[in-house]
Amino acid sequence: MIKWIFILLIIAAIASLLGFRGVAGAAATGAKLLIFVVLIVLLLALIFGGIVVA
């Protein structure tokens, strides 16, 4: 999922440089959404013991 975040951020940056504001905004919004999903999954895994931090 982290790979998709980087891909969307690169698409947003390139689209922004080329002047495609709609595409850039959509890609950035998708990246933000995925970042929050990853953070929530990580937090739940830490709370419920899915990841052991030594």
pLDDT digits (tens, 9 = 90+) for 11-44: 999 999 999 999 999 999 999 999 999 999 989 8
Q: State the pTM of this model.
A: 0.75
* Residue 12: predicted pLDDT: 95
* Residue 54: predicted pLDDT: 59
Residue with tokens 């933000």: 32
Distance from C-alpha of 8 to C-alpha of 28, rounded to nearest angstrom? 7
Q: Which two tokens stand for residue 1?
A: 């999922």
* Residue 48: predicted pLDDT: 85
Closest C-alpha among 9, 40, 41, 44 to residue 27: 9
Per-residue pLDDT at 52 exceeds 80? no
